[in-house]
């Protein structure tokens, strides 16, 4: 499920000597966050919106973060997310399976802190790519055929934009917990490939709670930490 997370991990490892030499490694942190998703708007077919078709979704995100300064950081993340199809809406051909909308995401976000201290509210904004598909299973399943074009799969790599707000609470100097709510807009529409104008772009609400570990003391420069 997390094979696609190998690439950003390799990049971090390869660049680590550069970061250490520049003392930038102290500005790095990583977070792990379980998530939930709800479809808000966007058509699935003539009769239903996507929210009528799918159950509440779930996911897990791994992020590497770089503190630019005390008020702003850059977040590079990979997440694997899915929404199961409601039993009453499952196509007859997939009654024996657990069909789902599978939505891995590669994202680049900025995080702007609104306050300092032990509890730090923040705004987040950014985007990325989402190679989504409708599949017979969450992992390793068969991809659906496009609704209006049986020669194509019901899948696409789409641009995703997101914005939200959250809060970070420090439990210890290098360990914090995160809570975040965000709105995601995924450009899923592709009338030419799917053979229909009806299946549209999708809007979703995401919520996550996770933990974050800092390699250095957040809010301190490398010069500060070198004298501690």
| Residue of 12 and 44 predicted with greater confidence | 44
Residues 167, 79, 153, CA angle at the centre, nearest 5°? 140
pTM (two decimals): 0.84
What is the reported pLDDT for 44? Answer: 94
Query: Is it the case that residue 66 has pLDDT exceeding 70?
Result: yes
Instruction: Give pLDDT tens digits for 146-189.
Output: 988 989 999 999 999 999 999 999 999 899 999 999 999 999 99
Q: What pLDDT score was predicted for residue 15? A: 55
The domain tally of the chain equals 1
Residue 29 belongs to domain spanning: 3-226
* Averaged confidence pLDDT in the chain: 87
Q: Rounded to an integer, what distance in angstroms lies between the CA atom of residue 163 and that of residue 165? A: 7
Cα–Cα dist 30/215, whole Å: 9
Asked whether residue 144 carries a pLDDT value surpassing 70, the answer given is yes
How far is residue 186's CA from residue 83's CA, in Å, rounded to a whole number?
14
List the CATH number of the domain containing 60.
2.40.160.20
């Amino acid at each position: 499920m997390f094979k696609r997370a190998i690439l950003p991990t390799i990049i971090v490892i390869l660049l680590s000597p550069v970061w250490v030499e520049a003392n930038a490694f102290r500005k790095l942190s990583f977070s792990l966050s379980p998530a939930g998703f709800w479809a808000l708007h966007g058509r699935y077919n003539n009769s239903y919106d996507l929210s009528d078709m799918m159950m509440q979704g779930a996911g897990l995100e791994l992020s590497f973060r770089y503190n630019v300064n005390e008020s702003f950081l850059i977040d590079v993340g990979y997440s694997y997310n899915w929404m199961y199809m409601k039993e009453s809406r499952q196509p007859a051909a997939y009654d024996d399976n657990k069909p789902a909308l599978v939505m891995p995401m590669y994202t680049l976000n900025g995080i702007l802190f609104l306050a300092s201290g032990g509890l730090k509210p923040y705004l987040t904004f950014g985007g990325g790519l989402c190679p989504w598909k409708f599949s017979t299973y969450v992992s390793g399943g068969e991809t659906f055929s496009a609704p209006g074009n049986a020669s194509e799969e019901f899948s696409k790599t789409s641009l995703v934009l997101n914005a939200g707000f959250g809060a970070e609470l420090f439990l210890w100097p290098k360990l914090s917990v995160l809570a975040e709510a965000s709105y995601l807009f995924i450009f899923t529409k592709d009338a030419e490939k799917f053979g229909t104008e009806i299946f549209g772009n999708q809007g979703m609400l995401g919520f996550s709670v996770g933990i974050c570990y800092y390699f250095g003391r957040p809010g301190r420069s490398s010069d500060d930490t070198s004298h501690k």
